[in-house]
Structure 1
Amino acid sequence: MNRLPVKSLLQFHTVSKSWKYSIDCSDFICKYGFRESNNCCLYLTFKQNFEGVICSVDDNLALSPVVSNLKFFNLTPFATSEGVWCFSYGENSMLLIWNPSLKKFVRILVPNYLLEADSPKMLFGFGVHPVTLDPTLLKINYPYYGQGPWYVSVFTLSSRTWYKVDSYCLPRESIRIKRSGQAVVGGKIFWVGSEKFYNDDGISYKIYMLVSFDLITHQFQVIDMPEEMLVGEFLPPYFISQLEDSIIISGSFNFGNFRIIYAWELEVDDGEVSSYRQLFTIPYPAEHELKLIGFSKDKQPIVEAAIFQQWHQSLQVFNPSIQSFQNVGVEANHGSFFIGQYKESLLLVNEQSRAVIL
């Protein structure tokens, strides 16, 4: 059964109780969840004027529209985990969990608390529990200016409820998380964080680090970045993504009449960066701006490219054999490109029991 596509398994799911039990078994789900589709490597979403689009991207970087009953222009994707996507809706009033394999989604209302005024610094996190496969959401709030207490709420799809995380599980109040993406590696969600300090002259500066949230213990942890990534020409802003089970930190810097986009690959174990290496440095014309948003199946960097005085952004892939970027052939609104690794997943919701079927 592990070799069958999701559509066939859903049909066999209704044959008998024994077949249903075998398919719903958590061991089977876990093993099947790591099975990548042979026909599709990536899913790509973007917005063109008043239309939201989602496409599958094959090994040759050809795009094919994906049929869905979702209206993607109203949705902003911010994370994927184990083949499941998560979007924010409108003015962050609702979140939506979507399984593209099953063409099913679940809406979750975002709670408001009288003593926790929402601010522009509010952000969300999403990941799938590595053992129970329970989709988990985070809502993170803290004051817009200066230091102040963190307010974090967690939602699990199996419970269908939000609960507040105790203060002893939270990072220092002076730390802020950058809304520049997230990575889900080893059962933890990772973000880039920063902390502001002042020197003797009263001039402020920031130190950057990784901030993680454990999907099992629901505790945060602060992880120092290697000094090599924090000094020299490699200056913020930092963006975070992932390549298989590694964390990728990327950015760009000016170098005279051209810029350089760079990326570091990090491995994290027991709350420390256990290894790191510079993945690439690629020069490009200074009038452009590049942002790393993912990798092809062959691990080629995929970037969102902005050209000076042009409204739309283009999707480009770096080909190392010719040392040049190639246009994929799609243009979109600024900052709307989002790439997620495609994995066939059996995670779905039983509406009667309101629990995740494992």
Structure 2
Amino acid sequence: MSDNIPFHIQEEIMKRLPVRSLIQFRCVSKAWKSVIDSSAFIAAHSIHRHTHPQHLLVSYQDPIDEVNYVSFVDDHTLPQQRSLPIVPPFIKQLIHPKVVGSSHGLICFFGSDFTFTTGMAVLWNPSIRKSIDVVVPGRSFIGFGVCPVTSDPKIVSITQSWDYQNIETSYPCKVMVYTLSSGKWRNLSTNLPPKRLSSSGLVVITDQYIYWRAEVPTHNAIMSFDLTHENFEVIDLPDSLACREFGDLYTYKLRESLAMLQYKENICNVWTMDHGVQRSFTKLFTIKTPHEIVGFRKTGVPIMHVPNDDDDDDEGSKLVVYEPNSEQNNVLEMTGSPFSFYVKSYMETLLLFGRCDSTSY
């Protein structure tokens, strides 16, 4: 950049540049390297992540039960810009690894070690190929997100004991929070979820909240965790969703909002939650399709899991993006014969830059 441009203006411009360019620009001058390497710049670059390229990370299984990963650039070139990311070796050592979600450019994986007794989470930034392994205490389900105020990654571990003979006497939840800045777990003692709440299904992460699909004693609901204030809330669903069969509902992220998918025969109703005072839900659109939606592009276009027409199970399935304007199906190419898919979107950021790959206990 020209020396005639004030340095603070240069810094503002750099906050909006893609990661690959910033890595190269560190070699331009000591001043630029010092700025780009600073924790303040890394946090500020993450805040401007909506100006950075978005990617779709697809994990899929093949007939021999091996998990594979492929990444696509989610822009007008889709599906041409395809790459095979170098996944951290520890992820491949996990038993049944699942992608929990992505936040501020970090992707969280969760699985068990080879003993099946210890939970392990992996925080991975695919843009800079950095990862942190975290031992998760107890047998629990987890959530993950980056605090929008501090840019500090957090993992939330929730453990609940059940007395199936008498649900009323079930033990309350035990909640622990891990922050990357401290490298430690700590107990939460207040603002815990109701003791008669169970959660399952996909985790959805927006800018400030982690969401789980949940069952309270009489109906379906949503449980949220505020990453800034670290408190839980149970959010009621509209009657048409609250009283549906639990297995008919799925949660996904649509743009920056929580989406609820309600299936009935070959029809899928897509609802989104408005972050107003009432946390109201609005039916966005209805899709007539026999296929399962497994994610959305940043434009809101659905991504579908389409089984092959052949009767031969070895032929696998396809991942298809349906573009309603052109009425075209774009197939996201995989290797082998995949039969199940998970799709998560992530932005390019510098979070974890300058850190060594490590394990946190």
- Which TM bucket (shorter chain)? 0.7 to 0.9
Bigger mean CA offset, 128-137 vs 22-31: 22-31
Question: In the aligned structure 2, how far is the partner of 1:231 from the partner of 1:194?
Answer: 11
Q: Which amino acid aligns with 1:217?
A: H
- Aligned ranges 1:51-200 → 2 under 5 Å: 51-59=67-75, 60-62=78-80, 64-71=82-89, 73=92, 74=94, 75-90=97-112, 91=116, 93-112=119-138, 118=139, 122-144=140-162, 145=164, 146=167, 147-166=170-189, 168-178=190-200, 180-196=201-217
Which residue of structure 2 aligns with residue 277 of structure 1?
282
Q: Deviations over 1:158-204 (max 9, x none)?
A: 000011111x31121111112x21222241111111112xxxxxxxx
Bigger mean CA offset, 69-78 vs 79-88: 69-78
Q: Which amino acid aligns with 2:287?
A: I
The alignment partner of 1:216 has SS state of coil
Change (3 A) 1:268 1:323: same
Which residue of structure 1 aligns with residue 58 of structure 2?
44
Q: Which amino acid aligns with 1:160?
A: G
Higher strand proportion, which one? Answer: 1
Question: In the aligned structure 2, how far is the partner of 1:253 from the partner of 1:152?
Answer: 35
Q: Deviations over 1:280-306 (max 9, x none)?
A: 222234xxxx43222124321112245
Question: In the aligned structure 2, how far is the partner of 1:260 from the partner of 1:307?
Answer: 20
The alignment partner of 1:131 has SS state of coil
Identity of aligned residues (%): 25
Which residue of structure 1 aligns with residue 30 of structure 2?
16
- Residues 302 and 321 in structure 2, CA contact (< 8 A), matched pair in contact too: yes
Question: How far is 1:129 from its partner?
Answer: 0.5
Q: Which amino acid aligns with 2:101?
A: A
- Residues 79 and 330 in structure 2, CA contact (< 8 A), matched pair in contact too: no
Structure 2: segments with no counterpart, 5+ residues:
1-13
Normalized against structure 2, the TM-score is what? 0.78
1:247 aligns with 2:258: yes
Higher helix proportion, which one? Answer: 2
Q: Which amino acid aligns with 1:282?
A: I
Question: In the aligned structure 2, how far is the partner of 1:76 from the partner of 1:332?
Answer: 19
Q: Which amino acid aligns with 1:150?
A: C
Which residue of structure 2 aligns with residue 263 of structure 1?
270
Question: How far is 1:157 from its partner?
Answer: 0.4
Which residue of structure 1 aligns with residue 18 of structure 2?
5
Question: In the aligned structure 2, how far is the partner of 1:329 from the partner of 1:22?
Answer: 36
Normalized against structure 1, the TM-score is what? 0.78
- Residues 96 and 108 in structure 1, CA contact (< 8 A), matched pair in contact too: yes
- Aligned ranges 1:294-313 → 2 under 5 Å: 294-306=295-307, 310=313, 312-313=316-317
- Residues 34 and 343 in structure 1, CA contact (< 8 A), matched pair in contact too: no
The alignment partner of 1:9 has SS state of helix
Question: In the aligned structure 1, how far is the partner of 2:176 from the partner of 2:339?
Answer: 30
Question: In the aligned structure 2, how far is the partner of 1:269 from the partner of 1:185?
Answer: 15
Change (3 A) 1:334 1:22: closer
- Residues 262 and 281 in structure 1, CA contact (< 8 A), matched pair in contact too: yes
Question: How far is 1:27 from its partner?
Answer: 6.0
- Residues 220 and 242 in structure 2, CA contact (< 8 A), matched pair in contact too: yes
The alignment partner of 1:20 has SS state of helix
- Residues 36 and 342 in structure 1, CA contact (< 8 A), matched pair in contact too: no
Question: In the aligned structure 1, how far is the partner of 2:183 from the partner of 2:296?
Answer: 34
Which residue of structure 1 aligns with residue 236 of structure 2?
224
Which residue of structure 2 aligns with residue 202 of structure 1?
none
Question: In the aligned structure 1, how far is the partner of 2:337 from the partner of 2:196?
Answer: 36
